[in-house]
Amino acid sequence: MGQITIPVRVRNALKLDAGDRIEFVEMEKGRFAIIPATRSMKELNGFLYRKGRKPVTIEEMNAAIAKGASRSR
């Protein structure tokens, strides 16, 4: 685990306090978004939406999760 310094303007916009956890989500190759790890799933609704991208089904998500889990063993 490491530490980074986040500018005050960004901390205020994300409503972060000292010690809060954040996640880095890769939006595209080489570009990341900073997301507070304390947000509820409802707040993240639509965050990864990209125009023209086809939504996936629950079954497709479960298959991708299972595939990823089998690779990590």
Q: Hey, what amino acid is at 48?
A: L
Residue 44: predicted pLDDT: 65
Contact between 33 and 44 (Cβ < 8 Å): no
Pick the CATH number of 8-71 from 2.10.260, 1.10.3470, 1.20.1640, 1.10.3210: 2.10.260
pTM metric for this prediction:
0.45
| More confident: 10 or 45 | 10
pLDDT confidence of 7, banded at 50, 70, 90? Answer: very high
Contact between 3 and 9 (Cβ < 8 Å): no
Range 47-56 average pLDDT = 78
* Least confidently predicted of 20-24, 32-36, 48-52: 48-52
Please determine, for residue 40, whether its predicted confidence score (pLDDT) is greater than 70: no
